[in-house]
Structure 1
Amino acid sequence: MAAQRDGGARRGPASVTRRALRTTLAACAAFFVCLYGLDEPVAATYALFGVVSMAALSHIPGTGRQRAAVLVRTAPVAGVLIVLGTYLAVRTWSAVAGMLLIGFLLAFVAAAGPRAGGAAPGLQLLYILPSFPPYAPDTLDERLAGAMFGLVLLVLAELFVLPEQPGPSYRRLAAEAAGTAARCAAELHRAPYTLSAASIEAARTVGEALRPSRVDEADRPAGPGLRDRALAHAGLAARTLLNRMARLPAPPPGGLPPEQGPEVLIAVGRAAAETAALLDGEADATDEAGALRRVRAQATAAAVLEESSPPARGRRRAALLEMADAAVAFTTAAELAVRGRRARLPAETDAGRFWYAGHFPPRLWWHRLAAHAGPRSVHFQNAVRISLALAAARTIAGVESLPHGFWAMLAVLSLTRTTAAQTRATVRLALTGTLVGALTAAAVLALVGGRTTVYAIALPFVMLVAFRVGPVRGVGWAQGMFTLVVSFVFAQLAPVTWRLAEIRIMDVVIGSMIGIVFGLLAWPRGAQEELRRAVALLLTREAETVEGTAAAVVAGTPGNIPDDRPLQRALTLAESAWAQHQSEPRAPAGGAPDWQAAMMSGHHVLWGSRRLLAHGGPPLVPENASLLHDRSVVVTAGMRAAADRATPDPPPTESPPTESPATESPAAGPATGVAAGDGGVAAGAEPGVGSPRFFAALTWMDSLATDVERIEAPLGPQGPAGTG
């Protein structure tokens, strides 16, 4: 999930070196001050591991300033976890029960986005550390003081030691998209009233930059809060708006009434320019977004009053109203993203699309976590896997009285991956590295003995190399160097012998075996299978929604917002599975579907269905009813065919008969009898006059057919070509 602009630079060798230096400075300073300055070995232990847990074990994305902000917010949680771990360590059963529950909750919070998920492993370690004997609640003050002191030094190091320059934020990228939309609207207002090839390419480039997979994790609006939800919504609406502009059909010959083009385009352009200024932090004294809503309402009302339109005019009107709808969604979401609960939203704002507006953070957090509370969520699967593995490791450590048993749990935490194959490969490298590191540590301990000054002098250098080499050279180097680090640390806390290295090997082996066992037992294929299942469910829900919407338009119904909660939940699960799938190493698969295109189609189905059913209308005339029904059959058949291909290990099916083209996918080629871009009806059956609602539904079907074609299109190195 590396960002195309700056994410790779943030994870490059120079960035790793800076982070290693900051971690080493904070950890060694905290450890030496507490141990040699204050003579507090307990505080020294927690100070050092507080830094190591949140800087080395955690994967908090972003620049030093962004990570410091996350650390400040998580510091109180770290304190609570140390308290709980201290008191639950009184008995093995209570420690195991706490490990099972707290381990699950900390892992499950990854559903709240990469920032929360990145901090979770470090918080797990801060709970694990005090949950082992000795049961010493009388040392709680030293534990808390040491951990908080280490975190304070880490925050200062992140802020002031070799600070990094941030890349363009998602809000800045959305502002660029708004500026591009304003320029495209101005061009569409001039003859020949379509975009040039250069403008289409610019719109595509700007739209692609808003793909979450192309944005650094720290800048990705993935959190459950109001502003993050709104900013993600704004990015999606901006991509949809640019796509609609690029595909706007040319007007028919002759003049156009105001609601057919000029007024809508002028309003869209002005609102987009105002939104660009808003996202850039510039003051806005006008209300172009409100003017756009009024123009859209007038155009919609005029379309409702007009009983019939010729094809070219009807298609143009429908495309313009789709563009205006996307622009209204963009401006509204941007207003919420910038002003939060202080946003100036009109009374007619779509309460379904912007359901999150006005809700307080606890409600939004609950909504996000509840959406993933089930075995089909990859976040739920990961939380179950890691909590069971940690509980098993704590049970073995308690029953067998393992010395330094938390090392076994640290191995579980750091080596368990989301797929069994990945865990096995990681463990193999980790054991090799640990063995080499332990042999080196044993030799050093045997030669140096109890001369702690030598360990104190060597610790910063060994730690710097460990945190610099580990992320670059892999888990084997990381485990080997970390074995040296912990050996040098414990040699300063108490007299040790070379057998400490032996204990380290034993604990890592035990933790690794536990990780492998639970990796095999609990969803061993990670997100790879779950993504296919989730996308298949999503496409099936999309097909059901399209069928219901088409039937309602054909029959003519009063305005009635559909119940789209099943589709929304399917979309949520698919997006989370896709996010994890990108982080899992896998062999390149030629011709893989464009998974993100499937999710974009889900949003298009949601938005289009709501727009078509929000206002009632009379039944369609039989000819148009037949055309729309046939088109919906083709589109839904394409969605279900894509769902069948996405299903893990689908059963073999017979080829459909060639005389039934309506049951095949539009992407299948000439055998379907439908050519892409012809309006979705069979050759020679172009619709005649029809109601605006009919043309709006037909245009929506056309865009969904394009989405299905993108899902089936093989991905190149840079992803699909469309702005989606």
Structure 2
Amino acid sequence: MGSETESDTGDAARIRLPGVPRLRLIAAALRHGTRSSASTGRRAVRVTLSAVAAFYIGLYGLHEPVTATYGLFAAVAMAGLSRIPGTGRQRAAVVVRVLPVGWFLVTAGTLLAVHTWTAVAGMLVIGFLLSYAAVAGPRMAGAAPGLLLLYILPCFPPYAPQTLGERLSGTTLGILLLLLAETLLLPDPPTTSYRALSADAAMTAARLASELTHPPWLLSTGAGTAARSAGEALRPSRVQESERPAGPGRKERALAHTGMAGRLLLARLQELAEPGAREPRPQSLALLDEVAASARRTSVALRTGRPAGPGRLVDVLVVHRRLRTVSIKEATSGSTAFAMQRQAMLLETAYACATLATAADLALGRRPGPAEARDGSFWYAREGTVRLWARRLSAHLTVRSVYFQNAVRVGLALAAARTVAGLDSLPHGFWAMLAALTLIRTTAEQTSAAVARALVGTLLGALAAAAMLVFAHGSTTAYVVVLPVIMLAAFWIGPTRGVGWAQGLFTLAVSAVFALLAPVTWQLAEFRFLDVLAGSAIGLVFGLLAWPRGAQKELRRDVAALLRAIGATIASTTSVLTEVPVRGQPGRPSLPGALTLAEASFAQYQSEPQRPGTPSVDWHAALMAGHHALRGSRHLPHAGDLAGSRPLAPACRAKLARDSDVLVQHYERAGALLEDARRAPPKALPPVPDETADSRPPDDPAPPVYYDAEAWLRALAADLDHIARTTAAAGPSPKDRS
């Protein structure tokens, strides 16, 4: 393991000084390394010290075996079994918040152990609820397995409610020692927050906007590269899991909105920098200057944590829209189309910047004003915390949600394991449930592979444990010395080498623990293997029966539904502008609802190995298209409300309706092709015909709202074309993982 540590722990391992012992290099790498093995090592040291200290304090200091047992398993549950992302201090903050839940689970498990059927019913309900809590974000999802263990441990015989005080005190002792270790011991290197990444993107956008206000009205090569890098840095898959704003609260939603607006602003600024662009009009230059100033203020606000407050950008936007309506009368017919197209693109850019500024302020705690209250894009700003949580939880109460599927799968598997343990009287039944909890995966393929490796590892670990129990001859001193070493190996080597190593080493560790609690024989290792075998079989059965394909098939369906919802949104939005009633489309999901399910499926899909034959689609591009369609549907119907704006002429309405119909048909067809899982996926989704890219009005001049609508349709056509180009008949490409 020394060579792996040396190669995987960054700069510290490369500081090779003459005479410096290898152990010191490993220690330096453990303290300062940034790679996964160093992070795993730090976590292993913390959980080992806290768990062993709680166990020895309870057993030899307080002489209470129950307190010792619960102290050890509480630390193991919240730091070994749980996978809460973030630094030690961030994990400690999560553990503090869920500590009352842990007390409740220990109490419930103790009281419900009176009968097998009550314990099974409690396992079914609690298993579902804790697994479903993953909708709250990665931190709650990471804490759920550990919380489940806090219920599993006390819900087995003997039914001993008189020991509840010792169980709670042991749980508290173990978690308090874990909090101290997470906070003080081997601190993790600081991470880059999503707020800092958004601030970088805003400052990059300010530089781009400033460049576009000077001849030759283009971006330098370095500026374009910086814009692409800043935008990609905000892509969720590029952000550390602990920093992703995935929670249902107002600030988390606003911060996610900030990142999306930042990516959109950078993309729009790059689109403005077209070769051969003419000198912008004075009003356009003034708007670009205000975009640069607003982006700069937003960047400063995100860095300092103080909201910037409403700026002048929205007022300048209104003035610019009014002036471009007047300038249309003065423009010659030959230059009107080009000028209005450019102004429509500039308005899209300015709207993205205004959205960025508002979302950033909301993320920093500013209360929404009248403008945000009227803007449907910031609907969450008017909602209370309870209502936002209720919306998130209710949105996934459907069999289409991968969160719901996972919760049902885990709840049923744990309930079945508890039933088998209760009816067959397994000597250590909680091991069977622990095996089912740790080995069940979101796909049957993953579960089968994990079970196979776990059984081999457990068998080898059981043989080693039997040998240890035989040769130790009940020597307490030997077990006291060897327990910390085995636990450190289990929590360091296990996560880096795989589930087989983890199960084998953990078998050794629990054998030493039970040998310290009471005299045992080598048969303890046999019981451990049989229990893991039973739990593995149960996990495998439910992995095969309950949604065995995981998120991959569901993602395909959800994105197909999203593409059809985009088509329906295009039709309903343009029908308002053209005054042509849209045909009814019963059964179409709402665009916000389709986005919610597709985003959840995409998040789980990224954590699963891809199956051969899955179409190589840029799923993230489809999600961005959904957000683009949603924003246009909220703003375009009101784009012609300014005083002095003219209604669309019949020829313009016909052209807009025709372009909309073509695009709707292609989104519908793309969705149908993705959803049809009974035949092989096509080599490529159908490209949008070239005529939809022609936004010139049949009657020149046309009112500005026409160009705004055509710019929106043209961007959505480009989104679909990008999705089509990345769809292949062969297996998945690396782009799916980006």
* TM-score of the two chains, using structure 1 as the length reference: 0.90
Map 1:351-370 to 2 at 5 A. Answer: 351-370=375-394
Per the TM alignment, residue 303 of structure 1 is displaced from its structure 2 partner at its CA by: 5.0
* Separation (CA, whole Å) in 2 of partners of 1:249 and 1:686: 27
Q: Is the 8 A contact 2:325 2:704 kept in 1?
A: yes
- Could you say which residue in structure 2 is the equivalent of 1:560? none
Letter in 1 for 2:122: G
The counterpart of 1:311, out of the listed 337, 348, 354, is 337
Q: Secondary structure at the match of 1:163?
A: coil
Question: Corresponding residue for 2:674?
Answer: 646
User: 2:85 is paired with a residue of what secondary structure?
Assistant: coil
Match in the other structure for 2:663: 635
Q: Which of residues 66, 69, 77 is equivalent to 2:93?
A: 69
CA distance in 2, matches of 1:616, 1:644: 34
SS in 1 for 2:208: helix
Look up the SS of the partner of 2:68 in the other structure.
helix
What is aligned with 2:584?
A: none
Query: Match for 1:325: what amino acid?
Result: Y
Does residue 279 (structure 1) correspond to residue 302 (structure 2)? The answer is yes
Deviation at 1:250, TM superposition (A): 5.5
Distance change >3 Å, CA 283–CA 398, structure 1 → 2: closer
For the residue of structure 2 that corresponds to 1:417, the secondary structure is coil
The structure-2 alpha-carbon separation of the partners of 1:515 and 1:590, relative to structure 1 and needing over 3 Å to count, comes to closer
Distance 1:351 1:253 in 2: 33
Instruction: Determine the structure 2 residue equivalent to 1:290.
Output: 311
CA shift at 1:609, angstroms? 1.2
Counterparts in 2 of 1:341-490, with a 5 A limit? 342-343=366-367, 345-347=369-371, 349-490=373-514
Per-residue deviation, residues 458-507 of structure 1 (Å, max 9, x unmatched): 00001111111101110001000000011000111111111111111111
Letter in 2 for 1:278: A
RMSD of aligned residue pairs (Cα, Å): 2.8
Q: Which residue of 1 aligns with 2:593?
A: 569
Give matches, 1:164-313, under 5 Å. Answer: 164-248=188-272, 258-259=282-283, 261-281=284-304, 287=309, 289-303=310-324, 310-313=336-339
Note if 1:101 corresponds to 2:120: no
2:648 to 620, 624, 631: 620
- Distance in 1 between residues matched to 2:616 and 2:737, nearest whole Å: 15
**Quick one: which amino acid aligns to residue 296 of structure 2?**
A
CA apart distance, 1:148: 0.9
How many residues of Structure 1 are paired with residues of Structure 2 in the alignment?
691
Change (3 A) 1:549 1:721: farther
Cα displacement string for residues 669-722 of structure 1 (whole angstroms, at most 9, x for unaligned residues) = xxx4548xx4368xxx88743110000000011111111122223399874999
**SS of equivalent to 2:376:** coil
Q: Which amino acid aligns with 1:329?
A: T
Alpha-carbon distance in 2 for matches of 1:673, 1:252: 22
| Cα distance in 2 for residues equivalent to 1:415 and 1:680 | 55
Q: Does the Cα contact within 8 Å between 2:127 and 2:407 map onto a contact in 1?
A: yes
Q: Which secondary structure state, in structure 2, belongs to the residue aligned with residue 470 of structure 1?
A: helix
Q: Which residue of 2 aligns with 1:703?
A: 715
Secondary structure (helix, strand or coil) at the match of 1:195 reads coil
Quick one: structure 1 residues 673 and 344, their matched pair in 2 at CA, closer, same or farther if it must change by over 3 Å? closer
Confirm whether residue 526 of structure 1 aligns to residue 536 of structure 2.
Answer: no
Q: Partners of 1:615 and 1:333 in 2: how far apart?
A: 21
Question: Could you state the TM-score of these two structures normalised by the residue count of structure 2?
Answer: 0.89
Shift of 1:451: 1.7
CA distance in structure 1 between the partners assigned to 2:34 and 2:419 by the alignment = 39
Equivalent position of 2:363 in the other structure: 337
Q: AA paired with 1:694?
A: Y
* Amino acid paired to 1:695: Y
Structure 2 residue aligned with 1:323, among 349, 364, 381?
Answer: 349
What is the rounded CA distance, in whole Å, between the counterparts of 1:652 and 1:35 in structure 2?
62
Structure with greater contact order relative to length (CA < 8 Å, sep ≥ 6): 1
Deviations 1:371-430 (A, max 9, x none): 101100000000000000000111111111111100000001000000011101100000
Q: Which amino acid aligns with 2:659?
A: R
CA distance in 1, matches of 2:637, 2:345: 17
Q: CA deviation at 1:650?
A: 4.8
Q: Map Cα deviations across residues 240-273 of structure 1 (whole Å, 9 max, x no partner).
A: 11111111266998775544x1221111111100
Query: How many Å separate the matches in 2 of 1:56 and 1:185?
Result: 48
Q: Is the CA contact (8 Å cut-off) linking 2:40 and 2:495 kept in structure 1? A: yes
The answer as to whether partners of 2:652 and 2:698 remain within 8 angstroms in 1 is no
Alpha-carbon offset, residue 168 of structure 1: 1.0
Comparing 435-444 with 710-719, which one deviates more in the overlay?
710-719
Q: How much identity, in percent, do the aligned residues show?
A: 51
Cα pair distance change 1:707/1:124, threshold 3 Å: same
Q: Name the amino acid aligned to 2:694.
A: G
TM-superposed deviation, 1:533: 0.3
Q: Distance in 2 between matches of 1:635 and 1:335?
A: 36
2:352 counterpart letter in structure 1: A
CA distance in 2: counterparts of 1:492 and 1:276, whole angstroms: 58
Hey, what does 1:28 align to over in structure 2? 52
Contact 2:305 2:364 survives alignment (8 Å): no
What is the CA distance between 1:149 and its match in structure 2?
0.8
Report if the CA contact (8 A) 1:373-1:380 is conserved: yes
Pair 1:652–1:433, CA change in 2 (3 A): closer
Question: What are the superposed Cα offsets for residues 166-201 of structure 1, whole Å, 9 maximum, x if unpaired?
Answer: 221100000000000111111111123233343222
Corresponding position of 1:544: 568
Counterpart secondary structure, 1:357: helix
- 1: CA distance, partners of 2:413 / 2:326: 64
> Which stretches in structure 1 are left out of the alignment for 5+ residues?
558-563, 657-663
Q: Secondary structure at the match of 1:61?
A: coil
How far off is 1:283 after superposition?
5.5
DSSP-derived class of the 1:229 partner: helix
Decide which of 151, 154, 157 is 2:181's aligned counterpart: 157
Q: 2:694 aligns with which of 679, 687, 692?
A: 679
